A and B are shown apart, each in its own frame.
Chain A
Amino acid sequence: MSGKTDTVPHRLLSLTEEELSRIILDIHDGPVQYLFTALSLLTRIQNDIADDPSKADLLPSLAQVAVLLESSLYEIKFFLGTFRPPEFRRRSLVSIIEGLVLQHEEWTGNTVELVVEDIPHDVALPVKIALYRILQEALSNAYRHAGVDRQWVRLWSDGAFICLEVVDRGRGFTPPPLDEATHEREAHIGLRGMRDRVALLNGEFHLASKPGEGTRIVVKVPAHV
Chain B
Amino acid sequence: MSERIRVLLADDHALVLEGLRALLDQTPDIEVVATVQNGDELLKVLESRQVDVVVLDLEMPYHGFTALAEIRRRQLPVRVLVLTAFGDGESLQTAIELNAEGFALKTESPRQTVEAIRQVASGHLVYPRAAQRWLAARWGRSTSPGHDLSPREWEVLAHVARGLTNAEIAAALTVSENTVRFHLKNIFEKLHVSNRTEAAAWYFRHMPADRYRGRRL
Q: Does B111 contact A (CB under 8 A)?
A: yes
| The one of A34, A37, A106 that contacts B128, using a Cβ cutoff of 8 Å | A106
| The one of B59, B105, B128 that contacts A28, using a Cβ cutoff of 8 Å | B59
Interface residues of A in 82-105 (CB under 8 A from B): 84, 86-87, 91, 95-96, 98-105
A-B contact count (CB 8 A): 114
Do residues B85 and A106 form an inter-chain contact, with CB atoms below 8 A? no
A15 to chain B, nearest CB (A): 20
A176 to chain B, nearest CB (A): 30
Chain B residues lying within 8 Å of A106, measured Cβ to Cβ, are 87, 89, 92, 128-131
Chain A residues lying within 8 Å of B209, measured Cβ to Cβ, are none
A interface residues, tally (CB under 8 Å)? 39
Chain A residues lying within 8 Å of B18, measured Cβ to Cβ, are 37
Interface centre among B15, B110, B133 (most CB of A within 10 A): B110
| The one of B16, B87, B131 that contacts A80, using a Cβ cutoff of 8 Å | B87
> 1/0 contact trace for B12-55 toward A, CB 8 Å?
01011011101100100000000000000000000000000000
Do residues A77 and B130 form an inter-chain contact, with CB atoms below 8 A? no
Do residues A43 and B109 form an inter-chain contact, with CB atoms below 8 A? yes
- Given known contacts A33-B16, A37-B18, A102-B134, is B23 in contact with A44 (CB within 8 Å)? yes
Do residues B110 and A40 form an inter-chain contact, with CB atoms below 8 A? yes
Chain A residues lying within 8 Å of B20, measured Cβ to Cβ, are 37, 40
Q: Does A39 contact B (CB under 8 A)?
A: yes
CA distance A40 to B59 in the complex (A): 20
- Closest-by-CB residue of B relative to A95 is B93
- Closest-by-CB residue of A relative to B109 is A70
Interface residues of B in 110-139 (CB under 8 A from A): 110-111, 128-131, 133-134
- Closest-by-CB residue of A relative to B110 is A40
Chain A residues lying within 8 Å of B212, measured Cβ to Cβ, are none
Interface centre among B20, B92, B107 (most CB of A within 10 A): B107
Interface centre among A37, A38, A40, A84 (most CB of B within 10 A): A40
Do residues A81 and B19 form an inter-chain contact, with CB atoms below 8 A? no
Q: Does B90 contact A (CB under 8 A)?
A: yes
Do residues B105 and A77 form an inter-chain contact, with CB atoms below 8 A? yes
Q: Does A47 contact B (CB under 8 A)?
A: yes
Q: Does A57 contact B (CB under 8 A)?
A: no
Chain B residues lying within 8 Å of A81, measured Cβ to Cβ, are 86-89
B166 to chain A, nearest CB (A): 34
> 1/0 contact trace for A99-142 toward B, CB 8 Å?
11111111001000000000000000000000000000000000
Chain B residues lying within 8 Å of A105, measured Cβ to Cβ, are 130, 133
Do residues A86 and B109 form an inter-chain contact, with CB atoms below 8 A? no
Interface centre among B13, B85, B109, B110 (most CB of A within 10 A): B85
Do residues A100 and B13 form an inter-chain contact, with CB atoms below 8 A? no
Do residues A99 and B108 form an inter-chain contact, with CB atoms below 8 A? no
> 1/0 contact trace for B63-79 toward A, CB 8 Å?
00000000000000000
CA distance A103 to B88 in the complex (A): 6
B214 to chain A, nearest CB (A): 34
Chain A residues lying within 8 Å of B92, measured Cβ to Cβ, are 99, 102-103, 106
Q: Pick the 9 closest A-B CB pairs, nearest first.
A: A103-B89, A99-B89, A37-B19, A40-B19, A77-B107, A106-B130, A105-B130, A81-B88, A102-B89
What are 10 A-B interface contacts by the 8 Å CB criterion? A34-B15, A37-B16, A37-B18, A40-B16, A40-B22, A66-B109, A76-B107, A99-B93, A103-B88, A109-B130
| Further 20 A-B residue pairs, CB within 8 A, beyond A36-B106, A77-B105 | A28-B59, A34-B15, A37-B15, A37-B20, A39-B19, A39-B109, A43-B23, A43-B111, A47-B23, A76-B107, A81-B87, A95-B93, A99-B92, A101-B89, A103-B87, A103-B89, A103-B92, A105-B130, A106-B87, A106-B129
Which residues of A pack against B, CB within 8 Å?
28-29, 32-34, 36-41, 43-44, 47-48, 66, 70, 73-74, 76-77, 80-81, 84, 86-87, 91, 95-96, 98-106, 109
